[in-house]
Amino acid sequence: MQTDPSPRPSSGPVTRFAPSPSGHLHVGGARTALFCWAFAKGRGGKFLIRIEDTDQKRSSDAASVGFLKDLDWLGIRWDEGPEYTAPDGTLVGGGPNGSYFQSERLPIYARYTEKLVAEGKAYEAWDSPEELEAMRKEATARKEAFRYRFRGEVTAEERARYLAEGRVPVVRFRTPQVAITIQDEVLGDATLPAGEVDDFVIRKKDGFPTYHFAVVVDDELMGVTHVLRAQEHFTNTAKHMVLQDALGFRRPTYGHLSIIKNPDDSKMSKRDKDKVLRKAVKEKALSAPPAGTVTAEEWTKWLGDENVQLDLDGAIRLAEALKVQLPEINVDDFRRSGYLPEVICNFLALNGWSPGHDIEKFDNGFLKERFGFDRVMKTPAKFDRVKLLAFNTDAITGMAPAEFARRCRLHADQYRPDYVARLGDAKFALLMTACQERSKTLDDPFRTNGFLLVADDALAFSDDKTVRKALGIGAAPADGSRSGLEHLRAMRGVLAGLSEWTQAALESAATAYAAEHAQGKIGAVAQPLRIGVSGGTVSPPIWDTLVLVGRASALARIDRCIAWAGALG
RNA sequence: GGCCCCAUCGUCUAGCCUGGUCCAGGACACCUCCCUUUCACGGAGGUAACGAGGGUUCGAAUCCCUCUGGGGUCACCA
C-alpha cells in the first residue's frame, strides 16, 4: 500500500467521484460522476473512483458497489478505482494509489492523525455522547449554534481515569480561529467568519477517520487536482482547507454542484416510489394486496409504517396491478424503463450545465470537449422527466431500424424475456418495425402490447367509451349503415377465407370490404378489428398487429369479442 | 435560529462578467389548426419570464443597495 503523495501529473487534471457504497446510482450522483469524468478526460487527465465507506454502521456491506455497472452502462469508465469487469470483458479500475476503499486505508489515516496530534494540531477529546448532547442543548437554549472548542489539557491522571472508566477518546482537530475564504469555481468565493468552524472530529471512537479527514488525505495521496461534488459539501470545504494547511497538503480546485429536485420541489428520493404507490392504494381504497403482488404480511407492514419501503420487485408488481407508473430515481430505473444511456447523459448534463449557443443535443464526446466549471449553473434544477422522454423519443425515432431492433432485443433479453420466448425471431423483428416510430422508450414495444402475451381465452376487452363507440354499442348508426360490431362479424368471415395471412393480403381484403360496406372508410373496419384482437383501441398498425397475433388466435379472439360485445347489448 | 450561497417563460436554459443590437432567444410542456386505420410521429401558428422596491446611468435582465423567496450547512453520516 503506497502512502507517499502521488506526484501531480505533468499533464491533465485528476478528478474523482467518491460515493458511499451503494447498489444503485442516483441521478444526482450520475451527474456528478459525468461532470468529473468529462472534465478530466477532456483535458487529458485522469478520472478515479473512491469508495467512502468509513461509516461502519452504513457500510456493513462494503462489497456493495453495484452502482459501478450503472456508471459503465452510461459510458463512464474510470482510470483508477475499484475493479470491475464490464459486460464486454474489459477490466476497469485498479491503479497504483489503492486501495480505493477507505475502510482498507486505516493505517494511512492513523499516520496522519498521529502526526497532527504530535504537533499539537489535534487532540483527544473524551466527552461522552450525553455530555455533548447537553452542551448542544445549552447552546440551543442560548439561541446559538453549538461549536465545540478545546476544553483544556487533560492531565495524565484524568486520562488514566477515563481509560479506567472504559471511555474511548475521539480525536478532534484544533481549528485555527481565523476567517476562511472558500474559493469555488462554480459559486465564487465565500468567506466564513472566524469561529464558524469548530474543533471537529477527525477520528471516531471506532478508530475510523471521519469523512472530512479521509477525503483530505486521500485527495492528496491520489493526486486529485479538481474536486467537483454536491453542494451539500460547500461549507465543509472550509474544514478540508484548514486540514490541508495543517498537513501541508496542496489545495485542489473546488466546484460545487446544486442539487436536483423533483418537479414539485421536493428532493428526489428513493421513497418517491412508495409515495406514488401509497397514493394509488389510497385512491382505490384497497384493503388487500392485488393477487400476485406482495404478501399480506408485507402489505400490512408497508401500509402501517410510512418509513417501510417495498422491495423493488414487489413495488414493480404492485405498480403494474394498480396501473401506475413508478417514478424513476436511480440510473437502473431509467434503464429498466427503456431510456438510452446516451440520452440520460445528455439530459443530465443539461441539468446544471449548458454549452450555450442554444445547443441542447450532444454526446459525451462533445461534453468532454466543452465542459468547464464556468458554465455550471448555480441554481438547483428540477428534473423534468417529460423533457427527458422527449429527448429519448427523438433518439429512438432517429435511430436506424436495425439499431433500434438490436437495442430492443438487448433490452428484452434482460427485462422482457417472455416476449422473446413467445414471439420468436421473425415476429420479434416485425414488432420492432411496427413499433419504432411510435416508441418513446426501448420498453414501449413491450409495455404497450401486453395483449400479445395473453392467452386467447384470457384476453380482456375493455368496456369503455372509445370501445363502445367503435363497436356501435348502445348507439347504432342512425343512417342504417353497419355498426362496428357488424363490420367485425363480416370481416371475421372475410379473414377466415383469406388464402394468405400477410399485411398486404389483409389490407387489400379490408380495403375491398370497406369500399363496399363502409364508404371506403378503412378506419371503420380497422378499429373493430383492433379491439377484437387486442382488447382495446390502441395497438401497432392493424395489419401488423393481425400478423403478430396470427390467424388462429386472431379468429378466436374476434369470436370472443363478438360474443362479448353482443352480450353488452 | 447562526453562517454561507443563489434568483430569466410552467420546466431546463441562452443573454449578465465586457450596460444599448433583448418590448429577452432556444428546447420541453401547454393551446389552436393540419395530417391520420387507433395510439404515437410529423407540419404550421400561438400563449408564456427578467421576484419586489430603491439607486447609478442618456440608457439596466445586465452594475450597486434593501426586501422577499429558495437552497446548503451547523453529527463520532457522507
A426 in the same domain as A472? no
What domain range is A544 assigned to? 456-568
Predicted confidence at residue A3, as pLDDT, reads 44
Protein CA at A393 to nucleotide C1' at B67, angstroms: 45
* Range A199-212 average pLDDT: 96
CATH code, domain with A159:
3.40.50.620
Residue A107 has pLDDT above 60, yes or no: yes
| Residues 214-253 of chain A sitting with CB below 7 angstroms of strand B | 231-236
A539 in the same domain as A407? no
Q: Determine whether the distance from the CB of A88 to the nearest atom of strand B is below 7 Å.
A: no
Given A432, A448, A464, the domain boundary residue is: A448
Share of chain A above pLDDT 90, in %: 71
Residue A59 has pLDDT above 80, yes or no: no
Predicted confidence at residue A490, as pLDDT, reads 93
A155 in the same domain as A110? yes
Q: Determine whether the distance from the CB of A350 to the nearest atom of strand B is below 7 Å.
A: yes
* Range A343-353 average pLDDT: 95
Contacts of A263 (CB under 8 A, 6+ apart): A382, A383, A384, A385
A234 in the same domain as A177? yes
Contacts of A369 (CB under 8 A, 6+ apart): A42
Return the minimum-mean-pLDDT range out of A78-82, A199-203, A289-293, A425-429. Answer: A289-293
**Residue A76 included in any domain:** no
Given A227, A257, A287, the domain boundary residue is: A257
**Residue A325 included in any domain:** no
pLDDT single digits (tens) A165-185: 999 999 999 999 999 999 999
pLDDT single digits (tens) A370-403: 999 999 999 999 999 999 999 999 999 999 999 9
Residue A342 has pLDDT above 90, yes or no: yes
- The residue to which cell 378466436 is assigned: A556
**Residue A409 included in any domain:** yes
Label residue A477 by pLDDT band (50, 70, 90).
low
A440 in the same domain as A530? no
Q: Determine whether the distance from the CB of A129 to the nearest atom of strand B is below 7 Å.
A: yes
- The residue to which cell 502521488 is assigned: A6
Protein CA at A518 to nucleotide C1' at B37, angstroms: 13
* Cβ A51 vs Cβ A311: under 8 Å: no
Predicted confidence at residue A205, as pLDDT, reads 94
The string of DSSP letters for A165-201 reads HT---EEEE----S-EEEPBTTT--EEEPTTSS---E
Indicate the number of domains in chain A. 3
Angstrom distance (rounded) from CA A251 to CA A226: 9
Q: Determine whether the distance from the CB of A18 to the nearest atom of strand B is below 7 Å.
A: yes
Protein CA at A339 to nucleotide C1' at B61, angstroms: 37
Nucleotides of B under 7 A from a protein CB: 1-8, 10-15, 25-29, 37-42, 70-78
Predicted confidence at residue A249, as pLDDT, reads 95
Residue A60 has pLDDT above 80, yes or no: no
A126 in the same domain as A247? yes
A416 in the same domain as A462? no
Q: Determine whether the distance from the CB of A384 to the nearest atom of strand B is below 7 Å.
A: yes
Q: Determine whether the distance from the CB of A195 to the nearest atom of strand B is below 7 Å.
A: no
User: Treating both helix axes as pointing N-terminal to C-terminal, what angle do A106-118 and A236-247 enclose, rounded to 10 degrees?
Assistant: 70
A125 in the same domain as A241? yes
Given A385, A415, A448, the domain boundary residue is: A448
> E strands, A188-279, where?
190-192, 201-203, 226-230, 253-257, 260-261
A509 in the same domain as A434? no
pLDDT single digits (tens) A492-516: 999 999 999 999 999 999 999 999 8
Predicted confidence at residue A23, as pLDDT, reads 85
A109 in the same domain as A253? yes
Residue A332 has pLDDT above 80, yes or no: yes
**Residue A278 included in any domain:** no
Which of the pair, A7 or A212, is modelled with greater confidence?
A212
**Residue A349 included in any domain:** no
Predicted confidence at residue A527, as pLDDT, reads 94
CATH code, domain with A549:
1.10.10.350
User: Treating both helix axes as pointing N-terminal to C-terminal, what angle do A211-221 and A236-247 enclose, rounded to 10 degrees?
Assistant: 50
Predicted confidence at residue A269, as pLDDT, reads 75
**Residue A427 included in any domain:** yes
Residue with CA nearest C1' of nucleotide B71: A380
Residue A115 has pLDDT above 80, yes or no: yes
| Residues 256-285 of chain A sitting with CB below 7 angstroms of strand B | 258-259, 263, 265, 267
**Residue A386 included in any domain:** no
Predicted confidence at residue A276, as pLDDT, reads 84
* Range A525-536 average pLDDT: 95
pTM summary value: 0.92
**Residue A226 included in any domain:** yes
Label residue A2 by pLDDT band (50, 70, 90).
very low
Label residue A1 by pLDDT band (50, 70, 90).
very low
Average pLDDT value over all residues in chain A: 91
A232 in the same domain as A138? yes
Residue A475 has pLDDT above 80, yes or no: no
A464 in the same domain as A443? no
Predicted confidence at residue A398, as pLDDT, reads 94
